[in-house]
Amino acid sequence: MNARRLRRRLVNGTMTALVGALSFVAVLALVLILGHLVAKGASSLDWNFFTKNPVPTGETGGGVAHAIVGSGIIVGLAALIGLPIGIGTGLYLAEYGSGRLGWVVRFVADVLNGTPSIVVGIFVWTWLVRPMGHFSAFAGSVALAILMVPMIARTTEELVRLVPHSLREAALALGYPRWRTSLRIVARTALAGILTGCLVAVARIAGETAPLLFTALGNVNFNTHIGEPMEALSLQIFQYATGPFDEWHRLAWASALVLMGLVLVLAILARWVLRSRHGAAR
């Protein structure tokens, strides 16, 4: 009797310590990355960095405004394309996806979810960039949207499935058509979760580099035309970090810090949405 209790305590203690150590490693990684970025990049974050475009090599004082704006446009457009399709697909899967077609869609989404992003980039290059004859921000957005859709679809599906069946039946019994029940009751109820999923998906694609190499390409000039090649933070980090100049390395670190900060903000926003929505429902 006593021996068993002792054993249980021992196992419990060991496991707690182990899990604690592992989570410490995970947190440590994040802290190290952030700390390193701050140490290397923070000093370069000045007014010029955010407002100026690159200056010719050799000169100092240039910024990455073109990449910040470019990232904003490319990611924004990707979200504009990807969110409705992703959410719609997720709703379809949860509400009507019990048949064969649902199975196929789910399978495709899962495969797409596991597809390396560079493959998606090549795919968009083949089907969009080549026929159009030139690289463009739009193609980059399409590539990122393709990456977003399966993520959002599967999260949406899971969250919509969590909505109690009784709520659905309540709406149907009031004389709601099925599609309206899906949109007004089910999707609304799952909205906070869906929004969080979307923010996480945006954060995930914001730092993607490989699919943009074949599509948005990059641009040393400030450009807001989505039909033209456009710079993005991730592309710019890639180019500057692998380049030969110290000035470039400095800017790359700073850009990486900005990108990381952006992702962090999105993640915090996602938490906040979830929290405040839950608070409101209580």
Contact (CB, 8 A) for 203 and 147: no
**Piece in contact with another protein (CB under 8 A), picked from 84-92, 138-146, 169-177, 212-220:** 169-177
**98 scored as a contact of another protein (CB under 8 A):** yes
**Piece in contact with another protein (CB under 8 A), picked from 29-37, 128-136, 180-188, 261-269:** 180-188
Residues comprising the chain, all counted: 282
**26 scored as a contact of another protein (CB under 8 A):** no
At its nearest, how many Å lie between another protein and the CB of residue 87?
A: 19
Considering only 176, 249, 260, 274, the residue that binds another protein (CB under 8 A) is 176
Of 180 and 271, nearer to another protein (C-beta) is 180
Contact (CB, 8 A) for 236 and 220: no
Where in 114-153 is the site for another protein (CB under 8 A)? Answer: none
In degrees and rounded to multiples of 5, residue 162 shows phi and psi of -75, -20
Considering only 164, 225, 264, 272, the residue that binds another protein (CB under 8 A) is 164
Contact (CB, 8 A) for 94 and 156: yes
At its nearest, how many Å lie between another protein and the CB of residue 168?
A: 9
CA dihedral (163, 164, 165, 170) in degrees, to 10, reads -100
Give the number of other Cβ atoms within 10 Å of residue 257's Cβ. 20
**279 scored as a contact of another protein (CB under 8 A):** no
**189 scored as a contact of another protein (CB under 8 A):** yes
**169 scored as a contact of another protein (CB under 8 A):** yes
Contact (CB, 8 A) for 211 and 198: no
**172 scored as a contact of another protein (CB under 8 A):** yes
Give the number of other Cβ atoms within 10 Å of residue 224's Cβ. 12
**1 scored as a contact of another protein (CB under 8 A):** no
Dist CA 111 CA 19 (whole Å): 31
**Piece in contact with another protein (CB under 8 A), picked from 69-77, 79-87, 173-181, 250-258:** 173-181
Of 154 and 168, nearer to another protein (C-beta) is 168
Dist CA 147 CA 123 (whole Å): 12
Of 7 and 278, nearer to another protein (C-beta) is 278
Q: Which tokens belong to 228? A: 């033209």
Of 87 and 185, nearer to another protein (C-beta) is 185
Of 181 and 215, nearer to another protein (C-beta) is 181
In degrees and rounded to multiples of 5, residue 105 shows phi and psi of -60, -45
Dist CA 58 CA 45 (whole Å): 19
Contact set with another protein (CB under 8 A): 98, 164, 166-167, 169-178, 180, 185, 188-189, 280-282
